[in-house]
Amino acid sequence: MLVLDGKIAAAAVKESLLEKTNALKAAGKRSPHLAAILVGNNGASETYVASKVKNCEETGFESSLIRFNNDVSEAQLLAKISELNNDESIDGILVQLPLPDHINDKNIIEAINPKKDVDGFHPVNIGKMVQGVDTFIPATPYGVLLMLAHYNIETKGKHVVVIGRSNIVGRPMSILLSSERPQGNAYVTICHRNTPFEATKQMTLLADILVVAVGLPGFITADMIKPGAVIIDVGITRVADSTAKKGFSIKGDVDYQQAITKAAAITPVPGGVGLMTIAGLLMNTLKAYEAQ
């Protein structure tokens, strides 16, 4: 069984990016610059943003972290985004989600200049993706595509089952894998919370490639997996664990120990898709820089 190690695949992407950044600097040009906005002190968000900043450093990118307290107004946040939109030294902008309840995520996402939307969430970029036009791909689905490419996982003509239909992962993943593109040309089935469990199980047992993004730890068990399937586990949930130093463990949507008895390849959690999400974000940032 092949472990689709995100550390190895992400390292390959970052090495390529570092070479490009070094070449830019050698030519007297500036590095790509990513600006991240973090609201409040959510533990998971703090970890994610810190990792993004660290990865920028490792690839020679510039990064700016802008912090706001939890009580920041939507107007203040929109004003900062407008400032970043107009700053020619900033190539990519991301706003770490989730945001406090009093702030409308939709308004914030739509305020970001689509040319700097390196998270790939803006409706303009989503529309282009659906039409097959070159654009920023949402970072997590992009990371999955990079993972599949690194490990030479064939998708053409394969039956892909996507569990989950969020705008961040499930829906774009289904579109990308069925599109006319490298790591595409698959035929895709989507299951979601309103799909009866037995119907979901029938589909997963037919899946050559199974992409799971539902946020339910251990949802996929061995009896739901086709022998020889490729499993992409996007789920990442903190589960209380008194034996762990931090008081919690990170679990995926797939029961890993069961899955390895059936799968031909699988992403671990942690150490899989999460690392590739950041790789996708960095690739988008370089793309935004080159477009400028």
Neighbours of 34 (CB within 10 A): 29
**Of the residues 96, 208, 251, 253, which is catalytic?**
96
Residue 136 and residue 92 in contact, taking contact as beta carbons nearer than 8 Å: no
119 is catalytic: yes
Separation between Cα atoms, residue 95 and residue 76, nearest integer Å: 13
Residue 124 and residue 114 in contact, taking contact as beta carbons nearer than 8 Å: yes
Find tokens 């022998």 and name the residue: 227
Q: Which two tokens stand for residue 212?
A: 């799971």
Q: Which two tokens stand for residue 36?
A: 């991240």
Find tokens 């570092």 and name the residue: 18
111-139 exposure pattern, b = at least 16 Cβ within 10 A, e = fewer = bbbbbbbbbbbbeebbebbeeeeebbbbb
- Looking at residue 165, what DSSP letter applies? -
* Helical (H) or strand (E) element with 201: helix 197-204
Distance of CA 24 to the CA centre of its chain: 26
**Of the residues 117, 119, 253, 255, which is catalytic?**
119
**Of the residues 52, 116, 251, 262, which is catalytic?**
52
Separation between Cα atoms, residue 39 and residue 69, nearest integer Å: 6
List the end-to-end C-alpha distance of the chain, in Å, as a whole number: 43
Instruction: Give the residue numbers marked as catalytic.
Output: 52, 96, 119
